[in-house]
Structure 1
Amino acid sequence: MSRKIKVLQLQNRYNVNASDLAEQVIQGLPAERFEVTTAFLRGRPGPGEPESRAARSIYFGFSQSDLKGLRLRALWRLYRLWREQRYDVVIAHRFKPMNMLMLLNRCLRIPACIGVQHGIGDFDRAYRRWEARRLLTANWRIVGVSRAVRDYLVGCGAGFDAGNTVQINNAIDIDRAERLQHPREQARSLLGLAREPFIFGAIGRLVPVKGHIHLIEAFAQVQSVYPQAQLAIIGEGRMRAELEAAIARFGLGGKVQLLGAREDALQYVRAFDAFVMPSLSEGLPLALLEGMSGHLPVIGSDIPSLRPILEDCGGRIFPVGDVATLAKQLGAVLNLDAEQRRAEGERAYSYLRGAHAIEDFRLQYLQLIEQSLAAERAAL
């Protein structure tokens, strides 16, 4: 029996949960053929927190200073790990792990290398583009997690092109999401929301980049015309006090609910009548996909990672930070009758099934790994 294909998946920080897409990559690799090691440069699970489904997990425990400048200690540890294990495939998520493995690959000659880029902007610096062009070799394949990210990579001047760069869309386990989701009335009861009113919903940390202040300002304009509407935001963060002050300033007490952090927030999605994502910047718009899984109309800002999804799913778009246009989009949804809202939600759900299903995501990574190894063998 031939030996298993050895895969190293390298991430910047510990993050293991049900929606973690690195874990979904592992799930798509048959255990009888692949032996996967997951390594985290920083962090480790605390008591009761989950570990990776990989056969082996490594927590390097590097400090921030270890990962700045020349990073010699971190590079040496990675070098020794590969020399000990002789991985056939490395998958590096985000810029720093990918850059470190590009440096090491010049001397290690790893058979197949895959770099996964989750956002836009990592190669805006001229030095990073120059370095990537020098380090990029034929055994690298680069993944953009959306059409917008792939287009950015191909056009940024770092050496990525249609031959070495592919698009594998972010995805969610839609069946799992729907199994978790409570029916509308139950979800509202669990969140302490009223049964009757129309509720716009958002999920995301209460931090400036999520744009919740703009959503509250837009909702204030809508609520004066549609007093039956409410807004609920699931998430916690440092902007809570500022958002609470805005709610008081606009006289929205009892109309806007800051619900705090909730484990597996997607289970409450059906409490909402429409889903809003007003982000100023976003790499992985998984919350938007979770909103679609609830068969809801979706509204989002026109940032590069959201616009293509909203265009393709029939969602509603507003210029990022544009409160007046966001208010118009909220009002337009409120003006729909129940059947029109249902049809809009079904269009979004149908798109989600066709473009962001986790089964397709797993298969595409499996195929990319197999194709990369085949190309390497052919080149020998």
Structure 2
Amino acid sequence: MDRAGLETMLMNYYRHIDRTVVQFDFLVHRSRAGSYDEEIMDLGGKIYHAPRLFPQNYLTYNTQISKLLRGVSYKIIHSHIDSMSVFPLRAAKKLGIPVRIAHSHSCSLDIDYRYPIKVVAKRLMPQHATDYWACSEKAGKFLFRTIDAAELHVVKNAIDLRRFTHDEEGRRRTRETMGLDESQIAICQIGRFAKVKNQSFSIRILQKLLEYNQNVRLFLIGDGPLRSEISDEATRRGLGSKVAFLGERTDIPELMNAMDAMLMPSLYEGVPVSLIEAQSAGLWSIASTAVSEDAILTPCAVRLPLHAGEEAWASAVLELATQPRFGDAGSMLRAKGYDILTSSQQLQAKYLAMTNRGTR
């Protein structure tokens, strides 16, 4: 439970449900502590650990999760690990847990040595899930190709819109602490340092931007296995003084206030929470066309193909980042169902309606 998109989406809902009525416990596939663990425990949740879903761990995983589920009395298992949800849902079915939700958060599968297993798991999903949820219709159609559209339930990646309202005075203060004056163009990318997030492309965009304007800085927010590799690339390209690696942060609203544009050159995505947050803040954002069009909710977010190249992206940044902040984005997002205050109550009601269901 680190500060990544899916985890943040879960915490948004967890903070806003009535936890005297519905409580979340979390099963994670890492042995180490996560960034949200302390808050989860403060809110009354439990955190269980299972081994990574690697082939060499499958037998151990099945044994451990079966043992865990026998010792508790859950009525609902809600799995967020895309095609690999088959594993926990299969164990839940064997133990008679009546509601088994598979939740799709993406529109693609990672291409790695487990890819054939993921393809098979995807096909087996209808045998083990009772309910099919997704962050968007596109993500649902990708993971649940064989189910009827009427069976798909879309749960918006809602946020606390109040936290992401643009504030000019807050912008000034944050930029001052970051060593930025108003003549500088500050751009950011938020996300795990992983291949899919494509931070290397943002480094190359910055290099192209600096050919036009030396007064540009790039802020990379997040952590992950490729952080040192991206840092080395920035240094190798002579950009060390123009790139700041901020790590995981708890002050994302303040940082977005301070920025002039956000990049999201992902290789694939569902509906990224950070892109919704940026739009709520009125922050001009450029996402790749691999990001679902369902995530483009206001005029301050646009999509551009990666194959357009760094020059096209740099031109788009310069055009957007010098425009006035986009206003009234919060109202647009609220009208489209992205206000967590409303969405959390809808989710809570949905869970409660499911608890009387018999075993399937």
Same fold (TM over 0.5): yes
Structure 2 counterpart of 1:372, which letter? M
Structure 1 counterpart of 2:127, which letter? R
Shift in CA distance, 181/242, structure 1 to aligned 2, threshold 3 Å: farther
Q: Which of these residues, 48, 51, 71, is aligned with residue 59 of structure 1?
A: 48
User: Who is 1:146 aligned against?
Assistant: 136
Q: What do residues 106-158 of structure 1 show as CA deviations (whole Å, max 9, x unaligned)?
A: 4322222222222223498542233223334xxx212212343123234x3xx
In structure 1, list runs of 5 or more residues that go unmatched.
1-13
Shift in CA distance, 225/349, structure 1 to aligned 2, threshold 3 Å: farther
Pairing 1:70-219 to 2, within 5 Å after superposition: 71-95=58-82, 98-122=85-109, 126-136=119-129, 140-154=130-144, 156=145, 159-178=146-165, 183-219=170-206
CA contact (8 A) 2:8 2:273 kept: no
Shift in CA distance, 171/181, structure 1 to aligned 2, threshold 3 Å: farther
CA contact (8 A) 2:289 2:304 kept: yes
CA contact (8 A) 1:92 1:114 kept: yes
Q: Distance in 2 between matches of 1:42 and 1:304?
A: 27
User: Who is 1:270 aligned against?
Assistant: 257
Q: Distance in 2 between matches of 1:197 and 1:78?
A: 52
Q: What do residues 177-233 of structure 1 show as CA deviations (whole Å, max 9, x unaligned)?
A: 459997122111222223322333333345543333323433444443445544443
Q: Distance in 2 between matches of 1:46 and 1:273?
A: 30
User: Who is 2:294 aligned against?
Assistant: 308
* 1:101 positional shift: 3.0
Q: What do residues 88-120 of structure 1 show as CA deviations (whole Å, max 9, x unaligned)?
A: 112122137621233124432222222222222
User: Who is 1:351 aligned against?
Assistant: 332
User: Who is 1:299 aligned against?
Assistant: 286
Q: Which of these residues, 344, 347, 352, is aligned with residue 362 of structure 1?
A: 344
RMSD: 3.5
User: Who is 1:20 aligned against?
Assistant: 8
**SS at 1:85 equivalent:** coil
Q: Does 1:320 align with 2:315?
A: no
Q: Distance in 2 between matches of 1:111 and 1:48?
A: 28
**SS at 2:283 equivalent:** coil
* 1:241 positional shift: 1.1
User: Who is 1:281 aligned against?
Assistant: 268
Shift in CA distance, 288/198, structure 1 to aligned 2, threshold 3 Å: same
CA contact (8 A) 2:166 2:282 kept: no
* 1:292 positional shift: 2.2
CA contact (8 A) 1:16 1:50 kept: no
Of 276-285 and 171-180, more deviation after overlay is shown by 171-180
**SS at 1:71 equivalent:** helix
User: Who is 1:11 aligned against?
Assistant: none
Structure 2 counterpart of 1:352, which letter? L
**SS at 1:281 equivalent:** coil
Q: Which of these residues, 228, 234, 243, is aligned with residue 243 of structure 1?
A: 234
How many residue pairs align between the two structures?
345
In structure 2, list runs of 5 or more residues that go unmatched.
110-114
CA contact (8 A) 1:17 1:50 kept: no
Q: Distance in 2 between matches of 1:67 and 1:219?
A: 37
Shift in CA distance, 325/149, structure 1 to aligned 2, threshold 3 Å: same
TM-score between the two structures when normalised by the length of structure 2: 0.79
Larger radius of gyration: 1
Q: Distance in 2 between matches of 1:44 and 1:219?
A: 35
Identity of aligned residues (%): 19
CA contact (8 A) 1:296 1:346 kept: no
* 1:171 positional shift: 2.4
Shift in CA distance, 244/208, structure 1 to aligned 2, threshold 3 Å: farther
Q: Distance in 2 between matches of 1:277 and 1:35?
A: 33
**SS at 1:276 equivalent:** strand
Q: Distance in 1 between matches of 2:54 and 2:200?
A: 34
Q: Distance in 1 between matches of 2:347 and 2:195?
A: 33
TM-score between the two structures when normalised by the length of structure 1: 0.76
* 1:170 positional shift: 1.3
* 1:44 positional shift: 4.1
Structure 2 counterpart of 1:24, which letter? N
Structure 1 counterpart of 2:11, which letter? E
Of 231-240 and 15-24, more deviation after overlay is shown by 15-24
Structure 2 counterpart of 1:210, which letter? K
